[in-house]
């Protein structure tokens, strides 16, 4: 399939596997690259040696382009950017802060910049400052979220910028990908759907919880304070939300939440850890290889697009 995203990155399918802290490493990223999409190494919580090592391992496992996530609030973000340039990584995604100060250095180093954007104003600003594409994430997504939905973002942002727009949040099957492409997106970024894959190093307990989950099992902590994080309901989320509504100070809540993603993803504690996952969990019914997931997504996408002209008959 040819879209502005496949052309920008030189990939076969318009699918990016988004960075997922404690999950997306060389194994997952090389698997999606070899399946025709591309993927992003997550750097949150990792040290610099791990980042360089994972970039090098990914290069050994695939000759296709891949990305690295720059967490803009991470005190080591400048050094991560330097490693990305030294290792000639194809692109970065940048989130959780102002991405603009990083553009010049990264672009001069030959690295494409794809900031993750929460609203139209910032979309226009990063376009003006030279972003190669934007990733626009709706609040259906797993992990840290904003306040607007994917559909509202597609409606508001896609017609108002000229660079490729990659939509994220809630894409769990090919019908959704087809809908985004018809809305004018250049591609999609997907996270949750890839958590339950053979290549994912996520703990079997976390994978099983996701398989068993239905739509209403997915909740948000911290939304009322502007720090929304989406994941599966658990003892942790019940307690956190009770503390949140009863007015517990933010730093105490932060302390309570620190490390909960890792606790679920790596240690397998899905009650006092948080299994971060998005709203579109129903299509996740079994563990598959990343290639099988990508093939299924693309087959559904093509079928849906092929059927679309029937609506006009």
- What residues line the site for ligand FMN (CB under 6 A)? 18-21, 23, 42, 44, 69, 93, 95, 116, 137, 140-143, 168-171, 189-193, 276-278, 280
Give the shortest CB-37-to-ligand FMN separation in angstroms.
Answer: 13
Sign of torsion over alpha carbons 155, 139, 296, 59: positive
Give the shortest CB-176-to-ligand FMN separation in angstroms.
Answer: 9
| Contact of 225 with 54, CB cutoff 8 Å | no
**Nearest CB to ligand FMN, comparing residues 36 and 231:** 231
For ligand FMN, which residue has the nearest CB? 191
**Nearest CB to ligand FMN, comparing residues 161 and 229:** 229
Give every CB contact of residue 136 below 8 A, 6+ residues apart in sequence. Answer: 116, 117, 118, 123, 150, 153, 154, 157, 165, 166, 167, 168
Count the alpha carbons within 13 Å of 43 in the hemisphere toward its beta carbon: 29
DSSP string of 202-239, one letter each residue: S-HHHHHHHHH--GGGEEEESGGGT--EEEE--HHHHH
Token pair recorded at residue 6: 């496949």
Give the shortest CB-170-to-ligand FMN separation in angstroms.
Answer: 5
List, in sequence order, the alpha helices (H) in 115-187: 120-128, 150-157, 174-182
**Nearest CB to ligand FMN, comparing residues 8 and 297:** 297
Give the shortest CB-152-to-ligand FMN separation in angstroms.
Answer: 15
**Nearest CB to ligand FMN, comparing residues 6 and 280:** 280
Give the shortest CB-278-to-ligand FMN separation in angstroms.
Answer: 3
**Nearest CB to ligand FMN, comparing residues 89 and 247:** 89
**Nearest CB to ligand FMN, comparing residues 221 and 276:** 276
Give the shortest CB-127-to-ligand FMN separation in angstroms.
Answer: 19
């Amino acid at each position: 399939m040819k879209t502005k995203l496949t052309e920008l990155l030189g990939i076969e399918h318009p699918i990016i596997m988004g960075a997922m802290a404690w999950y997306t490493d060389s194994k997952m990223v090389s698997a999606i690259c070899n399946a025709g999409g591309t993927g992003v190494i997550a750097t949150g919580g990792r040290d610099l040696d791990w980042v360089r090592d994972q970039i090098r391992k990914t290069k050994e496992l695939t000759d296709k382009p891949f990305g690295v996530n720059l967490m803009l609030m991470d005190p080591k973000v400048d050094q991560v950017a330097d490693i990305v340039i030294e290792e000639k990584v194809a692109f970065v995604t940048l989130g959780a802060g102002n991405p603009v100060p990083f553009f010049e250095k990264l672009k001069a180093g030959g690295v494409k910049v794809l900031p993750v954007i929460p609203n139209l104003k910032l979309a226009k600003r990063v376009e003006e400052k030279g972003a190669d594409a934007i990733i626009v994430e709706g609040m259906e997504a797993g992990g840290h979220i904003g306040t607007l939905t994917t559909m509202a973002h597609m409606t508001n942002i896609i017609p108002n910028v000229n660079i490729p727009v990659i939509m994220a949040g809630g894409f769990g099957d090919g019908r959704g990908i087809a809908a985004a492409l018809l809305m004018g997106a250049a591609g999609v970024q997907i996270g949750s759907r890839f958590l339950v894959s053979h290549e994912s190093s996520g703990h079997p307990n976390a994978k099983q919880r996701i398989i068993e989950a239905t739509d209403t099992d997915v909740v948000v902590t911290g939304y009322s304070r502007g720090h929304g994080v989406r994941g599966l309901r658990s003892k942790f989320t019940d307690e956190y939300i009770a503390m949140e509504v009863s007015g517990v100070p933010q730093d105490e809540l932060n302390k309570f939440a620190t490390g909960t993603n890792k606790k679920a993803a790596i240690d397998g504690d899905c009650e006092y850890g948080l299994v971060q996952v998005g709203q579109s969990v129903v299509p996740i019914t079994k563990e598959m290889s990343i290639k099988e997931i990508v093939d299924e997504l693309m087959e559904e996408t093509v079928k849906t697009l092929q059927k679309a002209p029937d609506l006009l008959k």
